[in-house]
Structure 1
Amino acid sequence: MKKEYFVQYSDQSIVNSFDFPKDNFVSITVGISEIKHDLITSLIQRMFRLPVFFVLESMILGYEKETLIENNVSFFEFSSDGAIIKVDSVEKLNLVSGLTEVLVNNGLGVFIFHGESLAEQDLIPSRQWNRPIEFKNVDIYKVNTFIEVEEVGFTIFSKSDLFNSPRKVQNYIPRSYSLDINSSDI
């Protein structure tokens, strides 16, 4: 049986949870009960050309850093357990998507960035309980799209006309998933 998902314009609370110029980005939420690495890999391959950047806010499970080192994947460490990885090959995408699956299914968040002239050290997130998430060093005008992946789905923030409506976003979800039309803004 196919897993169901829904696609909607994001609630204002989600949009307000980030500190960036909201006029430039459309925000679309995709709800899926379980995030799998094949979903992440397929989504990235369908939506973007490589490279993309994965921002792992926390690698607290312990094996993530070891896995990256063992597989010769370079990364930028920005805290005691945070890492930013430039993914420029399908092999890296598969590996990092697998790590992302484990992290988000354990309640942690991961960001994925696509844009022009982005650098790892510029994508460091700043999260405080009483303020929106900020990416203080990134030139947000260089960012075309970023995705926040969480345990219950993901939110796409994009300037691209390719992903600016729920109807368009559904074209990037693998066919092994089934759209819940009644819960979607289609």
Structure 2
Amino acid sequence: MEKEYFVQYSDQSIINSFSFPKDVFASISIGMTDITNDLIISLVQKMFGLPVFFVLNSMIFGYEKETLISNNIPFFEFSSDGAVIKVDSTEKLHLISKLAEELVSNGLSVFIFHGNDLSEQDLIPPKHWMDKPLVFENLDVNKLETFVDIEEVGFTIFTKSSLFDSPEKIPNYIPNDYLLNIDSSDI
């Protein structure tokens, strides 16, 4: 059975929850209930390529940090349990996507950043992710092309890229085992 998703321009409350220039970044929301590591891998490979940066606000189970260390994956630790990870190989992408899927399925957000000359220190989130709008104080938005906020119920894309800056373009990047619900989409 195919899984459904919908694609819409983001609601103003979502747009306002992040401190990105609204006249520069398009904001598209994709709703779905089955965020898998295969979906994350497919999105990264189809939309961006490597490298990308994953920001894990919390590694709540403890084994995430151990998994990174045991697999020799360098990461920038910005809090007692938060990490920024540069993913520059398919092996890392598979491992980090699996960790991201587990965190998202447990109600946490995971961020993916793609751009030019980004570094781990650029992507340190504020101490309190609940404060809105969320501001990445070290981030030069001129370096950022796309930011993805992945949550349990879908994901939001903030992008400058003309390749996926409207709901009509997003289905090209979603795996074929997901079925577009046209009635609920801005298409």
TM range (shorter): over 0.9
AA in 2 matched with 1:103: L
2:10 aligns with 10
1:100-155, CA deviations, whole angstroms, 9 ceiling, x for partnerless residues? 00000000000000000000011011135443111000101100001000000000
1:180 aligns with 181
Q: Structure 1 stretch 110-119 or stretch 128-137: which is displaced more?
A: 128-137
Structure 1, unpaired ranges of 5+:
none
1:140 aligns with 141
Q: Structure 1 stretch 58-67 or stretch 123-132: which is displaced more?
A: 123-132
1:130 & 1:108 partners in 2: Cα distance? 15
TM-score of the superposition, structure 2-length normalised? 0.97
Two-structure CA RMSD over aligned residues (Å): 0.8
1:92 & 1:41 partners in 2: Cα distance? 10
2:134 & 2:56 partners in 1: Cα distance? 14
* Secondary structure of the structure 1 residue equivalent to 2:155: strand
1:124 aligns with 124
Matched, 1:48 2:48: yes
Select the structure that is richer in strand: 1
Identity level (%): 67
Q: Counterparts in 2 of 1:10-89, with a 5 A limit?
A: 10-89=10-89
AA in 2 matched with 1:107: G
* Secondary structure of the structure 2 residue equivalent to 1:101: helix
1:20 & 1:176 partners in 2: Cα distance? 32
Structure 2, unpaired ranges of 5+:
none
TM-score of the superposition, structure 1-length normalised? 0.98
2:44 & 2:167 partners in 1: Cα distance? 17
* Cα gap change, 1:111 to 1:130, in 2 (>3 Å): closer
Cα offset for 1:21? 1.1
1:6-56, CA deviations, whole angstroms, 9 ceiling, x for partnerless residues? 000000000000012111000000011121000000110000120000000
